[in-house]
Chain A
């Protein structure tokens, strides 16, 4: 494996958890729900995945447990914000804090135990093609799943009737309601999907990235994913590009240090966050771009009149 291939592979693995979480949040936000609890759902997904994989010996079961864990957390949020119409920002922040605490509690018995890694796919012949071989055919199965989900979400949102309904609920919930669509029901499902994806992102960390469980192992990736959704102006394929970009920055700064590039490491460490801020500023300067893709009802509570 050449160094170039190595760097690309590492970037792809760094981008995968971000892509999972961001694509889930994108769907939720497209339906008009701002869920700031992604970091918490991710942590719960990570611990559920690790715990079940460890107890059952099967990483596949672990992945399902992570999806379930993320969905249970998301349903808590959905009940509070959609049915009891609580403030979404406050509830989301609470969900993050709750999730981080809960995951530490569940994970207490699983600290310091080596995890069961998910095996990589290795297709004889294809995986040996130089450069693209290991990059296209030699990844772990979850990375392919993340890409597949992104393609599916893009297709669903912009090519199907269901996607149109979901976007209409996010853009104008009063009209959608008047047309007879169940706003709360659609949003509930979108939030659940977001939870499932956040759970998957967490499982990727505890089962593939570094097969172990430790408290706070999500280390702020949920927040980066949240920024990514805005960065991508709520478009699925841009989320994919953004994830690779953010993953790339965090990996390249490590390489720069190894090559003694004379830039302070603290500066390089902060680069992904700085990029997010810059991109946010650039995007919000472009009014038309912002207006076309921003879900107009994002974060607004909806109470159906009876």
Chain B
């Protein structure tokens, strides 16, 4: 862990004079033990980059409510680069339509916090960012789970029509399911057949019928990731990793956290 307090530069690029948000963020980050420097209004990108370097800050926070963010935020990132300080991450907020966020992230802004973001979430993000604890994107789709009434009935389509190779069939007692693994590229299909009425797959079949049941994402930091998701308020089905098939550790996120999609996180053991 860091010993020094995190230093943050809060800056208002451009001509916008609304600094209620900037001042509140500055105060909230101070309350989280950070040292915050506020630039005041009407700063050019170059002035902000210079201030960031002179003040030796760890992160720059930009605020704009005038609609000029698409032009101004990337300029700050660029000015930092030109002055050899591309290691200082930039985050931003204000009145920023969601559609602009991908553009800004592509231009090197680490994260955009839109209107209504709790200040605690912003402080947490900065802490994680600087402690290199930010969550990396999951590495790949580990498998796609498909609920079926009967593996034996379903298999011919996958094996013969799609010509996929059947790797294994396993029984997972804890979930009361039988699972068939079919490799496709670097990922897999899992056909899931319920073994009893207590199986979650059975209740899925009863409610929705056969079909895609879940998507599993491969991660290598399952325990830490669950802790962070929990802190960020992501709804979880499993707050602790549990034993899955193939000697893996798994946990499910709540579908309400992800637009109705059931995601599984899985981490495989060393030998795989």
The answer to whether A binds B is no
